[in-house]
Chains A and B, each alone.
Chain A
């Protein structure tokens, strides 16, 4: 089965309105830039987005947020995102805030076939409201797996089978989302033939990847540039 596509538009050909979409990255680090740009050009709406941050200051997923394509979002942090805050206040977007570790684990659980798990995170807070509580060594709340129809992620190097290598902290949620979505679309800085990535280098095996393409024109934006000698 050929997994290689020409570009983002061709790889996203069957992505429609009303679907659930996972999007990798932490802040702007490791986001699927080409796929997000392609989404801005597509006639789709009512998306449910699962992504740690919904972009920032006009960049990343904020591009499709501003086009009113997002109806619901699961994320852990919305600070520094005035566009999202405005839409939450106007009730144009429903946001479910999930503690980041629970967020990661709910996505991992979906990929691993785990239906639910118990965690102390969030006990005694708003996060626990309406959820089953069970006392182990301490009280824990039940959290369920988070699935998606599609995931869009970025890796540094990928081969034609979909084996992936991530760079530094750009890995974050991306391998988990690749496991949790029915169709995972990967864009890479560098697409190589099978065998060029050594088996020891592979962070995510290609079994979790359905489509892959060579990305282009990466901005790799830095949100807060801090250099030594500066506070």
Chain B
């Protein structure tokens, strides 16, 4: 039994220290914001210029000028602050953000990440990902274990253009939590009933 998306979010949340500052990438990691218990006192940073994202607004409180990096409407908690993009990335590049959680296309054994383009096929741009992977104190990648064509996304060496070289601390997939240690992925934790052979690692 692999984890569903909510369970994956909860696994990531369990890795956060209380009171930490966290940046959440577009896509799968965004959902984490809605599942963090208030008791953890996490400060969510969105690189478009807000520290203190809470969850979602109501029809009454929704504001077109209050969004996250995925351009989705959000709500903020007490003590939240707004700032410009330079200060926002200063928080990231300056090493003030404790964790960032990003989506991924490939992560390799050395901790390199690819998530911004597939040559000749898909070009999204790196957005803030290259700054985040080089600036946050810890970098977590949250992604599906396998691509749509069934290939395992945790690879010996990335083949796609890199977002960052040797930057990833942990990878969380529906199969478990894995740590790139140079020549292989170390298993930190497996989802219930998942066996090592199910991981299909080819290193």
Contacts and interface: CB of A to CB of B under 8 A. Distances in A.
Secondary structure class of chain A's binding surface, majority of residues = loop
Nearest to B60: A227
A5 interface: no
B181 to A, nearest CB: 18
A168 interface: yes
Contacts of B85: 26, 52, 100-101, 103-104, 172-173, 176
Interface in B101-147: 112, 123-131, 134-135
A6 to B, nearest CB: 25
Contact of A170 (B47, B55, B65, B161): B65
Interface stretch (B36-44, B71-79, B172-180, B184-192): B71-79
B92 interface: yes
Contacts of B124: 77-79
Contacts of A39: none
Contacts of A171: 49, 82-84
B89 interface: yes
B65 A168 contact: yes
Interface string B139-165: 000000000000000000000011111
Interface string A94-126: 000101111111011000000000011111111
A224 B161 contact: no
A76 interface: yes
B165 A226 contact: no
Contact of A175 (B84, B126, B131, B134): B84
B19 interface: no
A104 B163 contact: no
A75 interface: yes
| Residue from A102, A103, A121, A227 having most chain B Cβ neighbours under 10 A | A121
B24 interface: no
A121 B49 contact: no
Interface string A19-61: 0000000111110000000000000000000001000100000
Contact of A230 (B56, B64, B65): B56
Contact of B65 (A30, A99, A104, A125): A30
Q: SS class of chain B's interface: helix, strand, loop or mixed?
A: loop
B169 interface: no
A137 B105 CA distance: 29
A223 interface: yes
A79 B128 CA distance: 13
B82 A168 contact: yes
Interface string B50-83: 1000011111001111110111111100000011
A92 interface: no
A220 B130 contact: no
A172 B55 contact: no
A101 B129 CA distance: 9
A27 B165 contact: no
Name which of A103, A171, A176 has the most chain B CB atoms within 10 A of its CB: A171
A50 B78 CA distance: 34
B96 interface: no
Contact of B58 (A79, A156, A227): A227
A120 B134 contact: yes
B182 to A, nearest CB: 16
A26 B86 contact: no
A123 B165 contact: yes
Given A121-B93, A121-B135, A169 B66 contact: yes
B48 interface: yes
13 contacts: A26-B69, A29-B71, A78-B125, A100-B85, A100-B89, A121-B134, A121-B135, A124-B164, A126-B161, A168-B65, A169-B65, A224-B70, A228-B55
Q: 8 smallest A-B Cβ distances: which pairs?
A: A124-B165, A101-B89, A101-B131, A79-B124, A99-B130, A104-B85, A223-B71, A100-B128
